[in-house]
Structure 1
Amino acid sequence: MDRGKFSLLLLDPGEIYFEDFSAVLIPPDVTPKTFDSKKQDGRLKMCSKSLVFDPKDINKPILKIPLKDCVVIEQWKGSAKYLANSSNVLAVNCREYIEMLEGNIVAPYKFKESTNFLFQLNYANIMNCLPQICQLHRASTLPAAEQADMIATIVHSRQARVSFDPLWLDLYEKVVMETEADKVTPLVINPGRLVLTTARLFFQPYNNVETVPVIKIELNSIKRMVKRRFLLRHIGLEIYSGENCNNPHIYLSFRNQAKRDNLYDKLLQEPALKLEELDQDVMTLQWQNGIISNYDYLLYVNSLGDRTINDLTQYPVFPWIVSNYSNNELDLKDPVNFRDLSKPVGALDKVRLRRLLERYEEMSHPKFMYGSHYSTPGFVLFYLARLYPHYVLCLQSGRFDHPDRMFNSVGDVFKNCQTNMSDFKELIPEFYDVEEEGKFLVNNLGINFGYRHNGLKVGDVELPPWAESPKNFVDKLRGALESDIVSQSLHQWIDLIFGYKQQGEEAIKANNLFYHLCYEGNVDLDSIQDLNQRHALEVQIMEFGQIPKQVFKVPHPSRKVGLPLLTEPYQVKSTETEDLWRNMNLLESVSTFNTHKNTVSRLFISDDCTRVTSVGHDSKLKVFSLQQNRQIRSANIGYMPLSSCVQMPNVNILVIGSWDNQIILYDLDYGKVTESVLAHEDAITCISWGTKSNILVSGSGDCTVKIWKGLNTNGVIKPIQCLQKQIDHNSHVNCLDFDHNNNYLAVGTEDGEIYIWQTKEFILKKKYQINSSSITTINYSPDDVKLAIGSKNKTLLVIDVETGLSVFTKMMKSPISSLKWDGFLLILGCDDGNLFIWDMVEVKLLYEVHQAHSGAIKTVDISSDKSIIITGSEDRLIKVWKPK
Structure 2
Amino acid sequence: MADYCYKWYEADVRTKRPERFSLLLLQPNEIYFEDFSVYYYPIDLPEHVANERKQIGRLKVCSKSLVYEPQDTIAPLLRFDYKQCEFIDKWSGSLYSKIDRSNVIAVNAFQVIELKEGNKVTPYNFRKQKGFYLFSLNYVSINVIIPFIQQLWRAATLPRAEQDAMISAIVHSRLSRLQFDRNWMNDIFENIVLETTVERINPLNCTPGRIVLSPVFLYFQPFNNIDAGIEIYSSTEDMLLFLALSSEHERNHFYDIICSQKDVQLEDSVNENATLRWQNGFMSNFDYLMHLNRIADRSFNDLTQYPVFPWVIADYYSEELDLEDPKTFRDLSKPVGALNQDRLSQLKERYDDMPEPKFLYGSHYSAPGYILFYLVRVAPEYMLCLQNGRFDAPDRSFHSIAGVWQNVLSGFSDFKELIPEFYASDGEFLKNSAMLPLGVRSDNSTIDDVVLPKWARDHSEFTKILREALECDYVSEHLHSWIDLIFGFKQTGYEAIKANNVFHYLTYEGSIDLSSVNDPNERASLKLQILEFGQTPRKIFDNPHPQRNITKPLGPGNIVNMPAVSIPSEQVIDLIATVTDNKSKSDENDTKMMTYENLSMVLCRKLHKNIVTGICLSDNGNQVFSVSQDQYLRAFYINENEPCLGYNISGMIWELSDEGGSQEWNLSDEFEEDVEVSCIDLSVNKTLLVSGSKSGSIFIWSLKEHTLTNEFRSHDGAVNAVAFSPDNHRILSSGDDNFLKVLDLDTGMEVLATRLNYAIRCYHWNGAYAVCGDVNGNLNIWDMLTGTCLQTVKGHDGAIECLDVNEDNNVIVTGGEDKAIIVWNYL
Q: TM-score, normalised by structure 1?
A: 0.82
User: Alpha-carbon deviation of 1:311?
Assistant: 0.4
- Counterpart in the other structure of 2:763: 819
For the Cα contact (< 8 Å) 1:502–1:512, is it kept in 2?
Answer: yes
Aligned to 1:880: 823
Bigger CA drift: 167-176 or 197-206?
167-176
SS at match of 2:385: helix
Structure 2, unmatched stretches of 5+, are 1-15, 556-590
> CA separation of 1:161/1:355 partners in 2, compared to 1, >3 Å: closer, same or farther?
same
Report the residue type matching 1:787 in the other structure: I
Distance 1:109 1:822 in 2: 66
Residue matched to 2:560? none
Q: Deviations over 1:330-359 (max 9, x none)?
A: 111222211222221122222222222222
Moved more, 315-324 or 164-173: 164-173
Greater share of residues in strand = 1
Equivalent residues of 1:306, 1:549 under 8 A apart: yes
Could you tell me how far 1:729 is from its partner in structure 2? 4.2
SS of the residue corresponding to residue 790 of structure 2 reads: strand
Which residue does 1:296 correspond to in 2? 287
**1:31-70 alignment to 2 at 5 Å?**
31=46, 34-35=49-50, 38-70=53-85
- 1:22 corresponds to 2:54: no
Specify whether residues 618 and 261 from structure 1 end up closer, same or farther in structure 2 by C-alpha distance, changes over 3 A only: closer
Describe how 1:342-353 pairs up with structure 2 within 5 A. Answer: 342-353=333-344
Correspondences of 1:270-281 after superposition (within 5 Å): 270-281=261-272
- Aligned residue in 2 for 1:165: 181
Change (3 A) 1:112 1:588: same
Specify the alignment match of 1:671 in structure 2: none
Q: Is the CA contact 1:623–1:631 (under 8 Å) kept in the aligned structure 2?
A: no
Return the offset for 1:422: 1.8
Structure 2: which amino acid aligns with 1:303?
R
Per the alignment, do residues 108 and 248 of structure 1 end up closer, same or farther by CA in structure 2, a change over 3 Å counting?
closer
Counterparts of 1:110 and 1:80, CA distance in 2 = 35
SS in 2 for 1:15: coil
Is 1:209–2:201 an aligned residue pair? Answer: no
Residues 798-817 of structure 1: CA deviation (Å, up to 9, x unaligned): 22222222222334455432
Q: Aligned partners of 1:162, 1:726: CA distance in 2, in Å?
A: 69
**Equivalent residues of 2:43, 2:50 under 8 A apart:** no
CA contact (8 A) 1:752 1:775 kept: yes
* Cα deviation code 1:530-572 (max 9, x no counterpart): 2101101111111211111111222222222133799xxxxxx
Is 2:317 aligned against 1:330?
no
Q: Distance in 2 between matches of 1:866 and 1:447?
A: 70
Offset of residue 392 of structure 1:
0.5
Partner of 2:13: none
How far, CA to CA, are the matches of 2:188 and 2:276 in structure 1?
46
Tell me how far 1:761 sits from its aligned partner. 4.8
Q: What is aligned with 2:645?
A: 634
CA gap of 1:475–1:564, structure 2 versus 1, over 3 A, is farther
Q: Structure 1 pair 765/350, CA: closer, same or farther in 2 (3 Å)? A: farther
* Deviation of 1:145 (Å): 1.1
Moved more, 488-497 or 7-16: 488-497
Deviation at 1:759, TM superposition (A): 5.1
Gap change, CA 1:718 and 1:518, over 3 Å in 2: closer
Task: Determine the C-alpha separation between the residues in 1 that align with 2:17 and 2:386.
Answer: 27
- Contact 1:589–1:880 (Cα < 8 Å) also in 2: yes
Q: Does 1:116 align with 2:165?
A: no
Paired residue for 1:710, among 633, 642, 659? Answer: 659
- Structure 2 equivalent of residue 252 of structure 1: 243
> Which residue is 2:306 aligned to?
315
Map Cα deviations across residues 121-152 of structure 1 (whole Å, 9 max, x no partner): 22222221211111111011111111111111
CA contact 2:698–2:713 (8 Å) conserved in 1: yes
Q: Quick check: 506-515 or 302-311, which moved more?
A: 506-515
CA distance in 2, matches of 1:181, 1:412: 43
Cross-structure match for 2:718: 774
Contact 1:814 1:832 in 2 (8 A): yes
Tell whether 2:543 aligns with 1:554: yes
Residues 1:127 and 2:143 are matched in the alignment: yes
Cα separation, partners in 2 of 1:5 and 1:842, compared to 1, 3 Å: same
1:54 offset after TM fit, Å?
1.0
3-state secondary structure, aligned to 2:241: strand
TM-superposed CA distance for 1:597, in Å, is: 4.3
Separation (CA, whole Å) in 2 of partners of 1:83 and 1:2 = 36
For 1:771 and 1:535, locate their aligned partners in 2 and report how far apart those are by CA, in whole Å. 44
Change (3 A) 1:875 1:513: same
Equivalent position of 1:797 in the other structure: 741
Q: Hey, what's the Cα distance between the residues in 1 that align with 2:251 and 2:461?
A: 43
Q: 2:715, 2:596 → 1: CA distance?
A: 36
Find 2:789's aligned residue among 842, 845, 851. 845
Q: Counterparts in 2 of 1:113-192, with a 5 A limit?
A: 113=128, 114-169=130-185, 170-192=187-209
From 384, 398, 423, the counterpart of 1:393? 384
| Residue aligning to 1:862 | 805
Mapped contact 2:635–2:646 kept (Cα < 8 A): no
TM-score normalised by structure 2 residue count: 0.88
- CA distance 1:853–1:382, shift in 2 (3 Å): same
- Secondary structure of 2:480's counterpart equals helix
Residue equivalent to 2:445: 456
Residue 612 (structure 2) aligns with = 600
Task: Kindly indicate whether the alpha-carbon contact (under 8 Å) linking 2:689 and 2:702 is maintained by their aligned counterparts in 1.
Answer: yes
Change (3 A) 1:162 1:384: same
Alpha-carbon distance between aligned partners in 2 of 1:40 and 1:80, rounded to the nearest angstrom = 23
2:594·2:807 contact (CA, 8 Å) conserved in 1? no
- Partners in 2 of 1:157 and 1:187 — Cα distance? 23
2:491 to 482, 486, 502: 502
Q: Counterparts of 1:809 and 1:631 in 2: how far apart (Å)?
A: 45
Alpha carbons 2:720, 2:734 under 8 Å: kept: yes
Relative distance call for 1:83 and 1:257 in structure 2 (3 A) is: farther
Helix, strand or coil for the counterpart of 1:317? coil
* Matching residue of 1:526: 515
Aligned 8 A contact 2:731 2:743 in 1: yes
Q: Match of 1:262?
A: 253
Q: Name which of structure 1's ranges 815-824 and 539-548 shifts more when overlaid on structure 2.
A: 815-824
Answer yes or no: is 1:444 the counterpart of 2:427.
Answer: no
Contact 1:30/1:38 (8 A) holds in 2: no
Write out aligned runs for 1:602-617 (5 A).
602-617=614-629
Matched, 1:472 2:488: no
Mapped partners of 2:359, 2:440: distance in 1: 37
How far off its partner does 1:407 sit?
A: 1.2
Query: Is the Cα–Cα contact under 8 Å of residues 79 and 113 in structure 2 kept in the other structure?
Result: yes
User: CA shift at 1:726, angstroms?
Assistant: 7.9
Distance 1:661 1:59, change over 3 A: farther
How far, CA to CA, are the matches of 2:379 and 2:157 in structure 1? 32
Partner of 1:662: 654
Q: Which has the higher contact order (CA 8 A, sep 6+)?
A: 2
Q: Say which is worse superposed, 184-193 or 601-610, in terms of deviation.
A: 601-610
Moved more, 409-418 or 193-202: 193-202
Partners of 1:290 and 1:565 within 8 A in 2: no
Question: 2:823 is aligned with what amino acid?
Answer: V
1:317 alignment partner AA: V
Task: Provide the rounded CA distance (Å) in 1 between the counterparts of 2:514 and 2:479.
Answer: 34
> Match for residue 89 of structure 1?
104
Offset, 1:743? 5.1
Aligned to 1:490: 479
| SS in structure 2 of the partner of residue 133 of structure 1 | helix
CA distance in 1, matches of 2:690, 2:720: 13
Q: Identify the range of structure 1 (62-71 vs 263-272) with the bigger mean alpha-carbon deviation.
A: 263-272
Query: Hey, what's the Cα distance between the residues in 1 that align with 2:337 and 2:764?
Result: 46
Q: SS state of the match for residue 537, structure 1?
A: helix
Distance 1:248 1:455, change over 3 A: closer
Match for residue 754 of structure 1?
698
Contact in 2 for aligned 1:26/1:119 (Cα 8 Å): yes
Cα 1:194–1:770 shift into 2, 3 Å: same
Give the aligned residue type for 1:829. Answer: G
Cα shift at 1:385 = 1.1
Counterpart-to-counterpart distance in 1, 2:59 and 2:758: 66
Are residues 661 and 488 of structure 1, via their aligned partners in 2, closer, same or farther at CA, if it must alter by over 3 Å? farther
* C-alpha distance in 2 between matches for 1:454 and 1:143: 43
Displacement, 1:576?
A: 11
